[in-house]
Amino acid sequence: MSITTGSSTLGERKAIASIEGLSFRYPDSQRHALQDVSLEIGQGEVVLLAGPSGCGKSTLLRAINGLIPHMYPGDYRGSVTVCGLTVAETPMSTLAQNVGLLFQNPENQIFMFSVERDIAFGLQNLSVPRAEMRSRVDEAMRLLGVTDLAHRAPHELSDGQKQRTALAGVIAMRPKLIILDEPTSLLDPKTALEVVSLIEKLNRELGITFIVVEHRLELLIPIAHRLVVMDGGSKVMDGPPQDVLADSRVEAYGVGVPPISRLYNALSKDGMRLPKVPETPEELAEELNGL
Amino acid sequence: MTLIEFRNVSFVHQTGVTALSDVSLTVGKGETVAVVGENGAGKTTLVRHTNGLLKPTQGSVVVDGVDTRDTTTATLSRAVGIAFQNPDHQLFSESVENEVRFAMKNFGFAEGLISQRLDWALKFFGLEQYRKSSPLVLSGGEKKRLTLACILAWDPEVVVLDEPTVGQDSLQKEKLAQIFRLLQSTGKTIIIVSHDVEFLWPIQPRLVVMSGGRVVADGKISVIMADRELLEGARVTQPQLLRLYSGLRNKPAGPFLDVLEARDWIGGWRARREAR
């Protein structure tokens, strides 16, 4: 089983982000939020980051987009390189052109008078020429399906539309890597699935790399290339999602293992041999029907 | 015994947007009711009527025999505790400890009882180490737990939880499920608003489905969750164990409620087959 550490899980992919021996402690804290974490993210990967509350996921995301150490100073050891830039030595404005961040709650992200202006906001800050701005905003609106909403005020939008608008604002910056912190937790199940298929589309069509933190694993598993599990500030598991979920240790880490994966693991433990690790309940039903 | 009754309730926001249209609903004492439906369906508006935080534009809401228009939210809150979806709308004290004490003090609880309940609530929700900290330094998941701790500490008759699982890892969700069982066993009435169908399924609550400000279905979760067309309209997805059950050729009379049950049944089925 390929539950490995280091770069061997990358296969043929080139690394877009490399974290080497990273330890970090917030100034007011006794313990390290991150303990000697090494992780390589390959170009074009969709990486799902999971682990119990307080395991260091959010700290790791901040270390990748530069909020750590630029906005949150602390005891920082090791190195983080993103798109060839050493994060600790690169200004936030430069990093922001390479790494996009989408918050859990779009209300914290969209605030302008219209959808279009909101999407243009980041580009304005970078003083992108007007014509270029126009075409990038139009492209982002088209990709996220919010063109019809261009002149609407954000408060008139549904939650799903808000999340798409926030994501369009991130896409307009043309980042190579996008970090999503629980992007679907406030959305109804259908809208959440729509956001997931958008992530899949942006990954497939534009080759954008995604790092996603999400507690409802069953939503993201179908599109993730890799599942990384953290616990107590360390990386404890890393591999293809189906392999990680089929490892009996995973449930002990407080990761929201989907019911179907838990059932598969329980049946395997009881000595039942099923042809393959199921990705969906329908797949598991088929396997059982075929016995 | 009916504890909460919505009689033809409509609610129109100041902006002119209609959030509830002619909703009639009764909740009995000791019932567990889950409210699901698309974003913007009116779920949060509905539950905010249960303690008088919102009053109907038309129709009436009666809680324990009292029309919510004839009393105050402060009075109703003794019986109905609501944990909001966004804890930042609820937390305001300078310390975690005082946050939990606040309501109990307002309700005139004796100091000895307050200390006892406070200790229990902080311990139960794993917040002891933050006793003296500001609620603002807590993580999103911890804040959420603090709002629950505050409400359970004053022991209301009706516990209303708006999206309690958001930002909670699986250990915390398991703890929440335990709280549900505890509240159910003590005869409390529970109303939970949630998108998390996997969390709701093993609890098997009565399910109220909302869409566009209306109640579009109300009944047993196992029956409603099997109606794909209805779910599609309300943007709700089926739980995994029910999808598995639908796909199986050999299956028991009713769907599996949890993983253990599925494991036992499948194991038994295999043993019976091999014996033949």
pLDDT tens by residue, A209-230: 999 998 888 889 999 999 999 9
Using the beta-carbon criterion (under 8 Å), do B236 and A190 form an inter-chain contact? yes
User: Contacts of residue A189 in chain B, CB cutoff 8 Å?
Assistant: 195, 197, 235-237
The pLDDT of residue A2: 41
User: Contacts of residue A218 in chain B, CB cutoff 8 Å?
Assistant: 198, 240
3-state secondary structure of A237: strand
pLDDT tens by residue, B105-123: 999 999 999 999 999 999 9
Token duo for residue A37? 């974490």
Mean pLDDT, residues A141-148 taken together = 88
The pLDDT of residue A160: 76
Cis peptide before B239 (omega within 30 of 0): no
Rg, Å, chain A Cα set: 20
pLDDT tens by residue, A231-287: 999 999 999 999 999 888 888 888 888 999 999 999 999 999 898 889 899 999 999
Q: Is the minimum CB–CB distance between A247 and chain B shorter than 8 Å?
A: no
Beta strand B2-12 with B58-63 is: antiparallel
Are B5 and B62 spatial neighbours (Cβ–Cβ below 8 Å)?
A: yes
pTM of the model: 0.86
Distances (CA, A) of A139 to A136, A161, A173, A205, B270: 5, 16, 11, 13, 55
The DSSP string of B201-232 is HHH--EEEEEETTEEEEEEEHHHHTT-HHHHH
Report percent pLDDT > 70 for chain A.
94
In B, what residues contact A, Cβ < 8 A? 37-41, 139-142, 163, 166-173, 195-198, 232, 235-237, 239-241, 243-244, 246-250, 258-260, 262-263, 266-267, 270
How many residues appear in chain B?
Answer: 276
Mean pLDDT, residues A113-135 taken together = 89
A16-20, A106-110, A198-202: which range is least confident on average?
A: A106-110
Using the beta-carbon criterion (under 8 Å), do A272 and B270 form an inter-chain contact? yes
Query: How close is the nearest chain A Cα to the Cα of B135, in Å?
Result: 16
Are A231 and A49 spatial neighbours (Cβ–Cβ below 8 Å)?
A: no
Q: Is the minimum CB–CB distance between A232 and chain B shorter than 8 Å?
A: no
Are B101 and B166 spatial neighbours (Cβ–Cβ below 8 Å)?
A: no
* Angle CA A5–A8–A9, to nearest 5: 80
Q: What's at B33, amino acid-wise? A: V
Are B260 and A265 spatial neighbours (Cβ–Cβ below 8 Å)?
A: no
Q: Is the pLDDT of residue A8 over 50?
A: no
The pLDDT of residue B54: 96
Token duo for residue A64? 């990748």
Using the beta-carbon criterion (under 8 Å), do A188 and B240 form an inter-chain contact? no
Are B156 and B79 spatial neighbours (Cβ–Cβ below 8 Å)?
A: yes
The pLDDT of residue A10: 65
Domain-wise residue ranges, chain A: 1-98+175-257, 115-169, 258-291
Domains and CATH numbers, chain B: 2-225 (3.40.50.300), 239-276 (no CATH)
Whether the complex's predicted ipTM is more than 0.90 is answered with no
The DSSP string of A135-182 is HHHHHHHHHHT-GGGTTS-GGGS-HHHHHHHHHHHHHHT--SEEEEES
User: Mind listing the pLDDT tens digit of every residue in chain B (276 residues)?
Assistant: 999 999 999 999 888 889 999 999 999 999 999 999 988 899 999 999 999 999 999 999 999 999 999 999 999 999 999 998 878 777 888 899 999 999 999 999 999 999 999 999 999 888 999 999 998 888 777 888 899 999 999 999 999 999 998 878 888 888 888 888 888 998 999 999 999 999 999 999 999 999 999 999 999 999 999 999 999 988 899 999 999 999 999 999 999 999 999 999 999 999 998 888
The pLDDT of residue A4: 47
- CATH superfamily label, A1-98+175-257: P-loop containing nucleotide triphosphate hydrolases (3.40.50.300)
A14: DSSP letter = P
Using the beta-carbon criterion (under 8 Å), do B39 and A291 form an inter-chain contact? no
Give the list of residues 6+ apart from residue B186 with CB closer than 8 angstroms, or none: none
3-state secondary structure of A52: coil
Using the beta-carbon criterion (under 8 Å), do A160 and B39 form an inter-chain contact? yes
State the Cα torsion A145-A150-A155-A160 to the nearest 10°: 0
